[in-house]
Amino acid sequence: MKRRGFSALGLYACVYLVFLYAPVLMLPLFSLNDATYVAFPLHGFTWRWYQELLADSDLHAAALNSLKVAVVASLAATSAGTLTAYALTRGRGVATRTVAALAVVPLFVPGVILGIALLIVANLIGIGPSLIAVTFGHIIVCLPLSIVIMRGRFAAYSRAVEEAAMDLGAPPWTTFRRISLPIAAPGVISCLILSFTTSIDEFIVSFFLVGTQQTLPLFIWSHLRFPTQLPRMLALGTLILLLSCCLVLCAELIRRRGTDKTAFA
Amino acid sequence: MERRSPFERVINFPAGLVAVTGILFALALLLVLSFRNNDGQILALSFTTDNYTSLVQDPLFARILLRSLIIAGLASLATVVLAYPVAYYITFRAGDRRALWLILVTLPFWTSYLLRVFAWKTILGYNGILNSAFVALHIPGAPFETLLYNPGAVVVTLAHAYAAFAILPIFVSLSAIDTRLSEAGLDLGARPWTVFRRIIFPLSFPGVAASFILVFVPTLGDYATPLLVGGNSSLMVGNLIEDQFSSLDDWPGGAAMAVAVMAFLAIAFFVGRGAWRGWRRWQSGALA
């Protein structure tokens, strides 16, 4: 398909990028604007919103909660997803396929419905809306992601490597730990990062499961209603944007180093 | 059969535990609750179909469900149609800069979802960015009140918020296409547009369908967007369900609504799949 440059398509792609970025870039722009309402013309430069934001102790608590939830949820979802994806690529049995099919169901359930279903479970088993419930919800949201990513990762190299280890007498666990996992390590790390950012940003399931301790998106949600809080939320959005950019770029760099190394695939 | 090692026995346990309690059990419980009276208990022996009969008789639910299906359908369609040329460009024309383009289109997706939605409120609002620009340019009639709080605003916002969901699956299915097929088509004298219509698009259709589903499911139940940019005229079924669980305190009624939405999703999925298969069969029949 290497015909002469069809530049209309390239132009369209650039316009599309503007459509993607323009709204997002309004956040940093107006977070530095010295006015409470968000409109042109700009009123001058200020760090005020960032200073006020960073002094807010509710924000500190919410950020800490989000961090705790995201660390636990991404570790749990990635480990569980990695194991099942590994079992899947080895094609083991009905149990594996059933678990994998069930685990990707959340992709087909709107967040509101998943949220209320988990709220009912949380109330039934007595933990109620709480950070533990939120963590559990995030594991369920991240699990399909990690299974899909890790499955692709494990499928990307030859089974012969594992078979060689087995033939040389390594039991399955040793083969997994010493051979398969190191080869798939870049996938595990990018999976951890993607689960982490998903959990940090997850709103709707947390909305139902959150108790008295807020997470970051719920902190944002509760502040969006007050016009005077708005510039501070834009500042927070800018910080989140910067942080996620760093994380995504790290994930991408690791992923690319990983594809270089698996030359024997 | 070889004996299974302890590792192989526990390998599915973690994901299985999560899937059974958090997905199977939770959705089953939702189904059970939808057949319960609103007596404040989750499990009890009395069952009723009242929730469903009142749902069927409730014109508000029917109207909001229909509205949600239309908004989510339009948003998914807009997302996929806007994203397809970009995915095509990245796959076939971006060359060495393919990885860069992929990062560029996914980066905005990793900013806070709520703030991405909220950005549209600041853009479309009465005192918003677009209106202040219109006033500065002396456009007659500006500022316009009608930019925000309508279903159109919801569709645009959702199409923006879920863009990456559409580009990636289409990109994956496009890059799996064997370019020799389209070269053969060109060599045999087909025009580029015909090659696209008869070879590339049909082969990329699974990716298009996957994108549509990946966008349709979350947008159908979206809660924040209708509240932030939609206003009362654009409330969707996610807002209605949430009301039952908060202010109206009718959990069984809300559960019944959720089950109804899931049923509609399943029907839409199977109808869509059936239509696609029928069309394929008709096409291959026409070729033979």
- B34 — phi, psi (to 5°)? -70, -15
ipTM of the complex in this document: 0.87
pLDDT at B257: 93
Summarize pLDDT for B250-281 with one digit per residue, the tens.
888 899 999 999 998 988 888 888 888 888 78
pLDDT at A61: 92
Judged by CB atoms closer than 8 Å, whether chains meet at B258 and A117 is answered as yes
Judged by CB atoms closer than 8 Å, whether chains meet at B15 and A201 is answered as no
3-state secondary structure at position B215: helix
d(CA A138, CA A199): 6
Chain B, window 214-253: residues with a beta carbon less than 8 angstroms from a chain A beta carbon: 214, 217-218, 220-224, 228, 238, 241-242, 245, 251
User: Where do the domains of chain B lie?
Assistant: 60-287
Question: Cβ contacts (< 8 Å) between A84 and chain B: which residues?
Answer: 11-12, 14-16
d(CA B124, CA B128): 6
pLDDT at B288: 54
**Structural domains of chain A, ranges and CATH numbers in brackets:** 45-260 (1.10.3720.10)
- Overall average pLDDT of the B31-59 stretch: 82
d(CA A79, CA A61): 27
A6 has a pLDDT exceeding 70: no
Burial A178-205 (b: 16+ CB within 10 A, else e): ebbeebbebbbbbbbbbbbbbbbbbbbb
Rounded to the nearest integer, the mean pLDDT of chain A is 85
- Residue B88, judged by CB atoms within 10 A of its CB (0-12, 13-18, 19+), counts as buried
Which fold would CATH assign to domain B60-287? MetI-like fold (1.10.3720)
Is residue B165 less than 8 Å (CB to CB) from chain A? no
Task: Transcribe B168-212 into DSSP letters.
Answer: HHHHHHHHTS-HHHHHHHHHTT--HHHHIIIIIHHHHHHHHHHHH
pLDDT category at A1 given cuts 50, 70, 90 is very low
d(CA A34, CA A47): 8
Rounded to the nearest integer, the mean pLDDT of chain B is 86
Summarize pLDDT for B67-120 with one digit per residue, the tens.
999 999 999 999 999 999 999 999 888 888 888 888 888 888 777 888 888 888
**Which range is most confident: A152-161, B42-51, B83-92, B157-166?**
B83-92
- A159 — phi, psi (to 5°)? -60, -20
CB contact at 8 A, B122 and B147: no
Summarize pLDDT for B185-231 with one digit per residue, the tens.
888 988 888 888 888 888 888 889 989 988 999 999 889 888 888 88
A73 has a pLDDT exceeding 90: yes
- Overall average pLDDT of the A231-239 stretch: 86
Q: Which residue has the higher pLDDT, B284 or B33?
A: B33
Chain A nearest-CA distance from B141, in A, is 18
Q: What is the pTM of this model?
A: 0.87
pLDDT category at A265 given cuts 50, 70, 90 is very low
B189: left (phi over 0), alpha (psi -120 to 50) or beta: left
Is residue B22 less than 8 Å (CB to CB) from chain A? yes
pLDDT at B1: 43
